Structure 1
Amino acid sequence: METPEKCKSTEFDKAVAAVLTSLRSGDIMTYGEVALEAGFPQAARAVGQFLSRNEGFPWWRIVNAQGRLAPGHERKQAKLLRSEGVAVTGAHITKWARS
């Protein structure tokens, strides 16, 4: 996995990378939660764009605000999440306790 130091672009990229690398197996966050924790509360879409252009980050641990898996990647994401003990039904996280 990449470290924040390897993301040499913007402060946003470094902050998002730091949040993503802090996630452990079974952790789930929304795009908006990542943006908020990174210090960019209005940048949920930019988190998705970051993940699409930067390999090595745990993209499968990020879902939308309704717990929906990434469109077009549902099967792979569900498989990865289930391997970490996360309950998935169809294209959604189930029994998802949000803080």
Structure 2
Amino acid sequence: MTPEEYVEAVLGVVERIPPGRVMSYGAIADYLAERSGRSSARLVGSIMARYGGGVPWYRVVNSVGRLPPGHEVRARARLAAEGTPLRGAGVDLAAAQWWPPD
């Protein structure tokens, strides 16, 4: 998978996350690892920071449910509007985590 294809794959996974659910950067990296040969949560985070504006970026959180840095207020409002289970300053991962069915 080329770097450009990996960017498209990451964005494609994010587009599939249903309302009210989330995935972590690491979960996205793990989901794509076998196909891509890459498994880096940091790379997924960089891709989201650079190219994620056109997808539901607020549905991607860190490994403990923390919201995207610098965008916490907007992300929290969007997640709350979708009925995403929230906890403290972030997301309740145990209740909201999603994995693609395929």
Shorter-chain TM-score: which interval?
0.7 to 0.9
Q: Identify the residue that residue 53 of structure 1 maps to in structure 2.
A: 50
Aligned residue among 70, 73, 76 for 2:71: 73
Shift, 1:12, TM fit: 1.2
| Structure 2 spans left out of the alignment, 5+ residues | none
Shift, 1:95, TM fit: 6.4
Structure 1 segments (4+ residues) deviating >3 Å:
none
Output the aligned Cα RMSD.
2.0
Q: Identify the residue that residue 4 of structure 1 maps to in structure 2.
A: none
| Structure 1 spans left out of the alignment, 5+ residues | 1-8
Letter in 2 for 1:12: Y
Q: Identify the residue that residue 22 of structure 1 maps to in structure 2.
A: 16
TM-score (norm 1): 0.78
Q: 1 CA distance for matches of 2:93 and 2:29?
A: 23
Q: Identify the residue that residue 25 of structure 2 maps to in structure 1.
A: 31
TM-score (norm 2): 0.76
